Structure 1
Amino acid sequence: MRPNLPVEVADRLRRDIFSGRLRPGERIDQDAEAAALGVSRVPIREALIALDREGLVDIVPRHGVFVWSFGPEDLADQYEVFGLVSGLAAERAAQNLTDDELANLRAVHAEMSVSRDGERLELLNERFHMIINRASGSRRLAWLVRFLSGSVPRGYEAGGWQIANRHHATIIERLGARDAEGAGRAMRDHIRQSGEHALGVLAESGIWKA
């Protein structure tokens, strides 16, 4: 088994949960998921344990694994916490970011501004935030941001990548000015608006309809 296979499976299941393919409260058929992904039950089981730690599934002994029965209020709370922690990381980064890290951040932003490849944009977006989180100077804080990012939907940047890039430009501007308060505020606004956009899209998809 590839070392990162459970991570790949968890990512796929996470997307299926937030897309509505696996609906809130639904029992997950591990055999069916293993067959669909062409893997054994071992990486499925390990992935579900990881998702249980994230709060996205509930493992009920002798009954099975069920998708977390989350509603819009639950997701809004998670985005709020995610934004608060991400804002703190940005505040710390404004004080610690090196010139090389700032240059890397600008290079990532420049590529994001011209790319039209969805998968590439998601990868670049992760890199953008990773640079900031690592520059916070706190491994624990960076880990917490990474953990929380797994508990919210991906690919729902605030109103689309064009708007997200404008948010990123503001964040870079505040980081470059070593404005900790401004960087934190810009990051919190970015996460909040991304959350509002995600909630709107998910509601329209009918994920919470009975």
Structure 2
Amino acid sequence: MTAPERGPWPVGEVDDKAGGKRTERERLADVLRERILAGELARDSRIDLDATAAEFGTSRTPVREACLVLAQEGLVRVAQRSGIIVIGVSAESTLENFTLMAALSGVAAQWAAQKITPRQLLRVRELHREIRIAAQAGEDVATLNWLFHREINRACGSTRLQGMLGDAGRMVPRRFFELFPEQVPCSVEDHELLVSALAKGDSVAARTVTEEHFRAAAELLSARLADTELGAPSG
């Protein structure tokens, strides 16, 4: 994988080689998007182009271009006089995003249970084992989790579905386990059930486990964003 900072949710990319061709604008858009989705850039706060350019050692131009990308996604507002204003995401929109991810990932797991090859299943098992070991050691599991779900999504056999997952995943924070370390044990347990369903070819169980896996994540993140909104200064 060319971008180890990815994960855990954007797992629909089909061609890893694209990661090596990312522009400065795309890289900055990823970072700023992540900060907004994680609640680090609060609603109505202002993105200072000069300060952001200095932080990343670049010029104002790619920062502004990145902000225009985020404006198209509805995350910021570009105003002529007031600059770049964060619109942010609400707890409700976060639930909507995760609901989409749950539905799409559930279908991918369902199809994967019907089509997964012995080689792919072996790789899924290996990644699950690595995640369990890393979690027990208190190490970062985000990238391993990304690889785990990506392997399952690839096994579904639908490049169209993988593309849809990638689009939906961009609106979900990548540092989920960093934000919620207490979720790691639950995630490992969910993975255990999912691997078992795939091994048995149980498409119904694979879809159900996957959907619940994402729904639990949605509840945690939406609660965090709701708290952020309540704690934000008025005016």
Q: Is this a same-fold pair by TM over 0.5?
A: yes
Aligned Cα RMSD in Å?
2.3
SS at match of 2:46: coil
Gaps of 5+ in 2: 1-19
**CA deviation vs aligned residue, 1:16-70 (integer Å, no higher than 9, x gap):** 1133331123332222211111122343244334434544334567864432342
C-alpha spacing 1:176/1:50, structure 2 compared with 1 (3 Å): farther
> What letter matches 2:117 in structure 1?
T
Gaps of 5+ in 1: none
Check the 8 A contact 2:77/2:87 in 1, yes or no: yes
C-alpha spacing 1:133/1:38, structure 2 compared with 1 (3 Å): same
Under a length normalisation based on structure 2, what TM-score does the superposition of the two structures give? 0.77
Check the 8 A contact 1:48/1:57 in 2, yes or no: yes
> What letter matches 1:171 in structure 2?
L
Partner of 2:105: 86
CA distance in 1 between counterparts of 2:68 and 2:192 reads 37
Partner of 1:72: 91
Moved more, 182-191 or 41-50: 41-50
> What letter matches 2:119 in structure 1?
D
C-alpha spacing 1:168/1:55, structure 2 compared with 1 (3 Å): farther
Under a length normalisation based on structure 1, what TM-score does the superposition of the two structures give? 0.86
Partner of 1:183: 206
1:152 maps to which of 156, 172, 178: 172
C-alpha spacing 1:52/1:124, structure 2 compared with 1 (3 Å): farther
Check the 8 A contact 2:37/2:89 in 1, yes or no: no
Partner of 1:136: 156
Higher relative contact order (CA 8 A, sep 6+): 2
**CA deviation vs aligned residue, 1:133-152 (integer Å, no higher than 9, x gap):** 11111111101112211101
C-alpha spacing 1:42/1:99, structure 2 compared with 1 (3 Å): farther
Identical positions, percent: 32
**CA deviation vs aligned residue, 1:147-198 (integer Å, no higher than 9, x gap):** 2111012333574211111111111111111111111111100000011122
C-alpha spacing 1:71/1:35, structure 2 compared with 1 (3 Å): same
C-alpha spacing 1:86/1:56, structure 2 compared with 1 (3 Å): farther
> What letter matches 2:194 in structure 1?
I
